C-alpha cells in the first residue's frame, strides 16, 4: 500500500476550528445512553454530596459533643458519618458498574460505523492510505474516545460541580479564606490552557506515529517471505527500531509534559492549603473561627485536591480523544464516491441477457494527471467471451474493474442490457458479476467460507462442481477438507492453488457477467489445459470479459480486443487479428513461453508441507 506522505495528513486542527470540534460531533453516540448518563450523574452527585456532608458532620462533632463532652451525641454524629461513608461507597460501586456497560456500547457502535464506512469507500481511497493508519484509527483511537466519552466527560462534570459547591461552602464558612481558595483557580486555569494547547499537538503526533509503526509491522508480516529471501531482516529491523524510537521519544515527551503539569496542579492547591491552615489557625486563635469550622474548612479544602489533580488526567484524556476524533473524522468525512443513485433499481439474475457495452468510456485515477482509458467503445454480446490483450500498463485490469464498479468511469458510460451500471444498486450489480483477479485474495477463514463468499447459500453439490471446474479438488485433501482455515491471505497455499480457489469462487455464484483478470497465470500447462476445457462450458452460459497474457488462453475467447495505451486498437477474431494487425502479432510473439508451474510441472495436489508448523501445512481447523 502506498505510504502516506506528511502532506497527505490533515492538520491536527483546521484553521478557526476549536480542538474539540470533531469530538463534539460524536455526541450522537452518547444519545442512546443519555438516560444512563443522567442516572450516573445523579449517583455521582449524590455520592459527592455524601462525601461533602462528612466534614460538616465533623464540624458539629467538634463544636458539639467533643467541646461539651457529650458521649451520646458523639455516637449519634459518628454513626451518621459512617452511614454517609457507606452510602458514598455504594453509589460509587453502582456508578462504575453501569458506566462500564455504556462505555463498551458506545465504542462498539462507533467502531461498527467506521468499519461500515471503510467498506463503502472506493478502492482508490484504500490505495492512498496506509493500512496501519486505518487499523490504528479503528482500534486504539476508538478506545481513547470511549474512555473520554464514558469516564472523562463524567468526571469533568462531576469534578467541576464538586469544585464549585465546595468553594461556595468555603466562602460561607469564612468569606476571606473562601475567596482565597476561589482565587487559586486563576493559576490553575492558566496552567491547564497552556497544557491543553501543547498536549493536543503531542497527542496527534504520537497517534500518527503509532499508525506508522503498525504499518511497518503489518508490511513486515505480509512480506516475510520476500524479506527472508533477500536477507533484508536487519535493515527492516533497523527501520522498525527507528520508528519505535521516534514513538518512544514522543511518548516520553508527552509523559514529561503531563508530569510537569501534574506537579503544578498539585502545587497550587497544596500551597493554598498551607496558607489557609496558617490564616485559619490565626483566625481560630482570635475567635473568628471555631475549631470545628477550621477542621471542616480544611477537610472540605482537602476534597478539592483530587478534582484539581485529576484535572490534568481529564484534560490529557480529552486532548487525546480530540486528536483521535480528528483522525476518525478524516475517515468519516471522506464521502463514498461510488454509491447507489436515489432511483437505483435491482436486476434479477433471470432477467439479465448479458449485453455489456462500453460507450466512450474514459477513466482517470483520482489525483492523476493523465487518463488511463480514452474513449473506449466496446460491445460484448450475451453469451460471448471477449479477451482483452495488450502490453503491461495499457489499462486492461482497470477496464475490468469498471464493470463491478470498483472504480467509477470519469467519462462515458457502461451499460448492461441498456441499463447504465450507475442506475443499478451496487449490491444487485455485484451479485450479477463474478470476479477473479490475477492476485487472488483469500481471507483467514475456512476454504468453504472463502468459496461461498458471494453465494452463502450454495449447497455441497454446487461447491463440488465449482471446485471440479477450477481443478481445485485438492481442497478435499487438505487436513480438514473444506473446513480447513487457509490462514491470512491464503499464504499457506501455493499461488496456483489460490488462483484455482478464486476461480471456483467466481463461477460458483452463476454470474451473468464473468470478469476474469488473467486467472490462470500461476497454473502449469497441464492444469491450465484442464481448467480451460472445463471453463468453456461455463463461458457458454455467461457473458465474459477476460484479461489474458497466454496465447493458449485466448482460445477461450470468441473475439479479442487489443488495448494500446488506453485505447481500443483493434477488435476481431484471434485469427483475423493475427493476420491483419502487426501490433497484435508482435505482442503475442513477445509473450514468454507458457508453462509457469504451480510448484512442480504437472502437480495439481496440495502445496508442499511446511516443516516449520506442527501439522506440516501451516493450517488450523475451522
Q: What is the pLDDT of residues 232-284, one digit of tens each?
A: 778 888 888 888 898 888 888 888 888 888 888 888 888 888 888 888 888 88
154-191 per-residue burial string, b: 16 or more CB within 10 A, e: under 16: bbbebbebbbebbbebbbebbeebbebbbebbeebeeb
Q: How confident is the model at residue 3 (pLDDT cuts 50, 70, 90)?
A: very low
pLDDT of residue 470: 85
Q: Which residue has the higher pLDDT, 521 or 278?
A: 278
Please tell me the distance from the alpha carbon of residue 59 to that of residue 446, in angstroms, as a whole number: 71
| DSSP 3-state of 603 | coil
Please tell me the distance from the alpha carbon of residue 212 to that of residue 349, in angstroms, as a whole number: 45
CA distances from 152 to 304, 330, 345, 396, 522 (A): 17, 23, 47, 53, 55
The dihedral of CA 81, 82, 83, 87: what is its sign?
positive
DSSP state of 596: -
**Whether residue 610 has pLDDT greater than 60:** no
Mean pLDDT of 20-36: 83
Task: Give the total residue count for the chain.
Answer: 622
Percent of the chain with pLDDT over 70: 86
pLDDT of residue 522: 63
Contact 433, 515 (CB under 8 A): yes
Locate 622 and state its grid cell: 475451522
Contact 396, 388 (CB under 8 A): yes
pLDDT of residue 100: 66
Contact 318, 200 (CB under 8 A): no
Locate 24 and state its grid cell: 463534539
Please tell me the distance from the alpha carbon of residue 262 to that of residue 312, in angstroms, as a whole number: 6
Please tell me the distance from the alpha carbon of residue 426 to that of residue 407, in angstroms, as a whole number: 12
Instruction: Tell me the CB-side half-sphere exposure of residue 57, using CA atoms within 13 A.
Output: 19
pLDDT of residue 1: 40
Q: What is the pLDDT of residues 566-578, one digit of tens each?
A: 999 999 998 899 8
Within 46-122, strands assigned E span none
Contact 170, 297 (CB under 8 A): yes
pLDDT of residue 563: 92
Please tell me the distance from the alpha carbon of residue 565 to that of residue 395, in angstroms, as a whole number: 7
Task: Say which range, 5-9, 239-243, 315-319, 416-420, has the weakest mean pLDDT.
Answer: 5-9
Q: Which residue has the higher pLDDT, 575 or 608?
A: 575
Mean pLDDT of 353-379: 91
Largest Cα separation within the chain, whole Å, is 121
The dihedral of CA 95, 101, 102, 103: what is its sign?
positive
Instruction: Tell me the CB-side half-sphere exposure of residue 481, using CA atoms within 13 A.
Output: 4
Nearest to 563 by CA among 447, 347, 400: 400
pLDDT of residue 420: 93
pLDDT of residue 67: 62
Contact 77, 64 (CB under 8 A): yes
Please tell me the distance from the alpha carbon of residue 258 to that of residue 316, in angstroms, as a whole number: 7
Q: Which residue has the higher pLDDT, 279 or 230?
A: 279
Mean pLDDT of 548-554: 78
DSSP state of 491: T
> Which residue, chain included where needed, has cell 492510505?
129
Other Cβ atoms less than 10 A from the Cβ of 344: the count is: 15
Q: What is the pLDDT of residues 303-358, one digit of tens each?
A: 888 888 788 788 888 888 888 888 899 889 988 888 888 888 988 888 888 899 99
Mean pLDDT of 576-591: 84
472 phi and psi, to 5 degrees?
-115, 30
Cα(first)–Cα(last) distance of the chain, in Å? 29
569 phi and psi, to 5 degrees?
-90, -30
Please tell me the distance from the alpha carbon of residue 207 to that of residue 462, in angstroms, as a whole number: 48
**Whether residue 489 has pLDDT greater than 70:** no
Alpha carbon 345 to its chain centroid, in Å, reads 31
Domains of the chain: 23-332 (1.20.1560.10), 354-593 (3.40.50.300)
**Whether residue 194 has pLDDT greater than 90:** no
Angle at 259 between CA 257 and CA 262, to 5 degrees: 110
Mean pLDDT of 289-298: 82
Q: How confident is the model at residue 490 (pLDDT cuts 50, 70, 90)?
A: low
Q: What is the pLDDT of residues 447-484, one digit of tens each?
A: 999 899 888 888 899 999 889 888 888 899 888 999 98
Nearest to 92 by CA among 50, 137, 58, 43: 43
Please tell me the distance from the alpha carbon of residue 587 to that of residue 548, in angstroms, as a whole number: 12
Q: What is the pLDDT of residues 47-85, one digit of tens each?
A: 778 777 777 777 777 766 666 666 666 676 677 777 877
Other Cβ atoms less than 10 A from the Cβ of 238: the count is: 10
Contact 364, 410 (CB under 8 A): yes
Please tell me the distance from the alpha carbon of residue 470 to that of residue 507, in angstroms, as a whole number: 9
Locate 95 and state its grid cell: 456508578
Residues 6+ apart with CB under 8 A from 405: 338, 421, 422, 426, 429, 430
**Whether residue 372 has pLDDT greater than 50:** yes
pLDDT of residue 74: 63
255-293 per-residue burial string, b: 16 or more CB within 10 A, e: under 16: eebbeebbebbeebbeebbeebeeebeebbeeeebbebb
Please tell me the distance from the alpha carbon of residue 363 to that of residue 397, in angstroms, as a whole number: 12
Nearest to 252 by CA among 314, 309, 322, 202: 202
Please tell me the distance from the alpha carbon of residue 265 to that of residue 256, in angstroms, as a whole number: 14
**DSSP annotation string for 538-583:** HHTTSEEEEE--SHHHHTT-SEEEEEETTEEEEEE-HHHHHHH-HH
pLDDT of residue 69: 66
The pLDDT mean for the chain works out to 80
Angle at 612 between CA 442 and CA 438, to 5 degrees: 25
Q: How confident is the model at residue 604 (pLDDT cuts 50, 70, 90)?
A: very low
Amino acid at each position: 500500500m502506498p505510504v502516506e506522505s506528511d502532506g497527505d495528513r490533515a492538520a491536527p486542527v483546521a484553521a478557526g476550528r476549536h480542538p474539540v470540534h470533531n469530538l463534539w460531533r460524536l455526541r450522537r453516540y452518547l444519545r442512546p445512553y443519555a438516560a444512563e448518563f443522567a442516572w450516573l450523574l445523579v449517583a455521582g452527585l449524590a455520592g459527592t454530596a455524601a462525601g461533602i456532608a462528612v466534614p460538616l458532620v465533623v464540624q458539629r462533632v467538634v463544636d458539639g459533643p467533643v467541646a461539651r463532652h457529650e458521649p451520646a451525641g458523639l455516637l449519634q454524629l459518628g454513626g451518621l458519618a459512617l452511614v454517609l461513608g457507606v452510602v458514598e461507597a455504594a453509589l460509587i460501586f453502582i456508578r462504575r458498574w453501569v458506566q462500564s456497560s455504556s462505555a463498551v456500547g458506545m465504542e462498539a457502535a462507533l467502531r461498527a460505523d467506521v468499519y461500515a464506512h471503510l467498506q463503502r469507500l472506493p478502492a482508490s481511497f484504500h490505495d492512498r492510505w496506509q493500512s496501519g493508519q486505518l487499523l490504528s484509527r479503528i482500534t486504539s483511537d476508538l478506545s481513547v474516545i470511549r474512555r473520554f466519552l464514558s469516564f472523562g466527560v463524567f468526571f469533568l462534570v462531576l469534578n467541576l460541580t464538586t469544585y464549585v459547591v465546595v468553594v461556595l461552602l468555603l466562602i460561607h464558612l469564612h468569606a476571606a479564606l473562601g475567596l482565597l481558595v476561589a482565587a487559586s483557580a486563576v493559576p490553575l486555569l492558566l496552567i491547564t490552557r497552556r497544557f491543553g494547547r501543547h498536549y493536543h499537538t503531542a497527542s496527534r503526533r504520537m497517534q500518527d506515529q503509532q499508525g506508522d509503526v503498525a504499518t511497518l509491522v503489518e508490511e513486515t508480516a505480509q512480506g516475510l517471505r520476500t524479506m527472508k529471501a533477500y536477507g533484508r531482516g536487519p535493515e527492516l529491523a533497523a527501520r522498525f527500531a527507528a520508528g519505535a524510537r521516534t514513538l518512544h521519544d514522543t511518548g516520553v515527551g508527552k509523559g514529561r509534559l503531563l508530569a510537569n503539569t501534574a506537579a503544578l496542579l498539585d502545587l497550587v492547591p497544596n500551597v493554598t492549603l498551607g496558607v489557609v491552615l496558617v490564616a485559619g489557625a490565626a483566625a481560630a486563635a482570635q475567635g473568628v473561627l471555631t475549631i470545628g469550622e477550621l477542621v471542616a474548612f480544611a477537610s472540605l479544602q482537602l476534597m478539592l485536591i483530587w478534582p484539581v489533580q485529576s484535572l490534568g488526567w481529564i484534560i490529557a484524556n480529552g486532548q487525546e480523544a480530540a486528536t483521535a476524533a480528528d483522525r476518525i473524522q478524516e475517515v468519516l468525512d471522506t464521502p463514498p464516491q461510488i454509491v447507489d443513485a436515489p432511483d437505483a433499481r435491482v436486476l434479477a439474475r433471470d432477467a439479465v441477457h448479458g449485453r455489456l457495452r462500453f460507450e466512450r468510456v474514459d477513466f482517470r485515477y483520482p489525483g492523476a494527471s493523465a487518463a488511463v482509458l480514452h474513449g473506449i467503445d466496446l460491445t460484448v454480446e450475451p453469451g460471448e467471451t471477449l479477451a482483452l490483450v495488450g502490453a503491461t500498463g495499457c489499462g486492461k485490469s482497470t477496464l475490468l474493474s469498471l464493470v463491478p464498479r470498483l472504480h467509477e468511469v470519469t467519462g462515458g458510460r457502461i451499460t448492461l442490457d441498456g441499463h447504465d451500471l450507475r442506475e443499478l444498486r451496487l449490491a444487485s450489480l455485484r451479485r450479477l458479476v463474478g470476479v477473479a483477479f490475477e492476485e487472488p485474495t483469500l481471507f483467514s477463514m475456512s476454504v468453504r467460507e472463502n468459496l461461498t463468499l458471494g453465494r452463502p447459500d450454495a449447497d455441497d453439490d454446487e461447491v463440488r462442481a465449482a471446485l471440479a471446474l477450477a481443478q481445485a479438488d485438492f481442497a478435499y485433501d487438505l487436513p480438514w477438507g473444506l473446513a480447513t482455515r487457509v490462514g491470512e491471505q491464503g499464504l499457506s497455499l501455493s499461488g496456483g492453488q489460490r488462483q484455482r480457489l478464486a476461480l471456483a469462487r467466481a463461477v460458483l455464484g452463476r454470474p451473468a457477467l464473468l470478469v476474469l483478470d488473467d486467472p490462470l497465470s500461476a497454473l502449469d500447462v497441464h492444469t491450465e489445459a484442464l481448467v480451460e476445457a472445463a471453463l468453456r462450458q461455463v463461458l457458454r452460459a455467461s457473458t465474459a470479459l477476460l484479461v489474458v497474457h497466454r496465447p493458449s488462453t485466448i482460445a477461450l475467447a470468441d473475439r479479442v480486443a487489443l488495448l494500446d495505451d488506453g485505447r481500443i486498437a483493434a477488435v476481431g477474431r484471434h485469427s483475423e487479428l493475427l493476420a491483419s494487425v502487426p501490433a497484435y502479432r508482435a505482442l503475442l510473439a513477445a509473450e514468454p513461453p507458457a508453462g509457469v508451474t504451480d510448484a512442480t510441472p504437472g502437480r495439481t495436489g496440495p502445496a508442499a508441507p511446511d516443516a516449520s508448523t506442527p501439522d506440516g501445512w501451516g493450517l488450523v481447523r475451522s
